[in-house]
Amino acid sequence: MRSEICLFDIVSSEATPVLRSDQTIEAPNWAPDGSALIVNKNGRIYRVELSAPRLEEIGTEFAISCNNDHGLSPDGKTLVISDKTEEGASCIYTLPIVGGRPRRVTKETPSYWHSCSPDGSTLAFTGKRTPRGFDIYTIPVGGGSETRLTDGFDHADGPDYTPDGRWIWFNGEKAGRMQLWRLHPDGNDLQQMTDDDRWNWFPHPSPDGQHVVYLSYAPGTTGHPRDQDVDLRLMPAEGGRARVLLELFGGQGTINVPSWSPDSRQFAFVRYERP
């Protein structure tokens, strides 16, 4: 599958290719200093310097089955990964951004990282702890007790903190519709933020607190599959009408994790070549 990492400028509405590969690359993060992107490919994690784009592997020792739920701490010093090597199901680990031995954070599986709190003390993730399905959880970055935030959803996924730490956005399915929601980090004041016939996933608030970008599938889509015609959409951070930024061939891997530039002008995404 041919992949193309791109940057989308929300002012000019232009998408600029950064790197092309004949293999599947997924889920770009943008480093807090603006210098590089972090992506995954074939179970490994890579850094892409924007000044001279190429894939440079970050050593993760035993963790060689990383999925596309990875990211960086707010200070850019710590890499958070989701990997299934040890348990056969995804666990969350942290390690230095330069590479090293991963330190396990979550005891329970499966656990898929999605966001760090602005102060770096807490991780938000999706996990399956009951037969019913996945919910949103938080856990201290050093490990410890999990806090379950959602209840009553058929599936909840993709949590991402707002830059002021007041809200966690996520996508949640109820009554056969996947829409965007937000709640406070203590689990209170649940609010539905989209209400349409689309299948909406992975909301990411911008660092300046003005916008939320998200992935939107056609009505009736099940899950968040790859190789689909999808939209990238932008909506005001306080809710309101969304606009389509780009139609592309993508889906799983396009924008799973936070990928805004530090100045909130651009975000990174991946699109794929049709078979």
Tell me the whole-structure pTM to 2 decimals. Answer: 0.97
pLDDT band at 1 (very low <50, low <70, confident <90, very high): low
Q: Are strands 266-272 and 3-9 parallel, antiparallel or unpaired?
A: antiparallel
Torsion, Cα 203 206 210 216, to 10 degrees, reads: -30
Q: What is the mean pLDDT of residues 54-81?
A: 98
Q: What is the mean pLDDT of residues 270-275?
A: 93
Instruction: Say what the pLDDT of residue 172 is.
Output: 98
Contact 10, 266 (CB under 8 A): yes
Report d(CA 130, CA 112) in Å as an integer. 15
Instruction: Say what the pLDDT of residue 10 is.
Output: 97
Percent of the chain with pLDDT over 90: 97
**Residue pLDDT, tens place only, 94-117:** 999 999 999 999 999 999 999 999
pLDDT band at 89 (very low <50, low <70, confident <90, very high): very high
Instruction: Say what the pLDDT of residue 145 is.
Output: 98
Contact 74, 32 (CB under 8 A): yes
User: What domains are there in the chain, each with its CATH number?
Assistant: 3-272 (2.120.10.30)
Q: What is the mean pLDDT of residues 188-209?
A: 98
Percent of the chain with pLDDT over 70: 100
Q: Any idea what the Cα angle at residue 32 is, between residues 212 and 236, rounded to 5°? A: 10
Question: Is residue 161 over pLDDT 80?
Answer: yes
pLDDT band at 86 (very low <50, low <70, confident <90, very high): very high
**Residue pLDDT, tens place only, 179-188:** 999 999 999 9
Q: What is the mean pLDDT of residues 154-183?
A: 97
In DSSP terms, which residues pair with 213 in a beta bridge?
204, 234
The two structure tokens encoding residue 120? 């770096």
Contact 150, 136 (CB under 8 A): yes
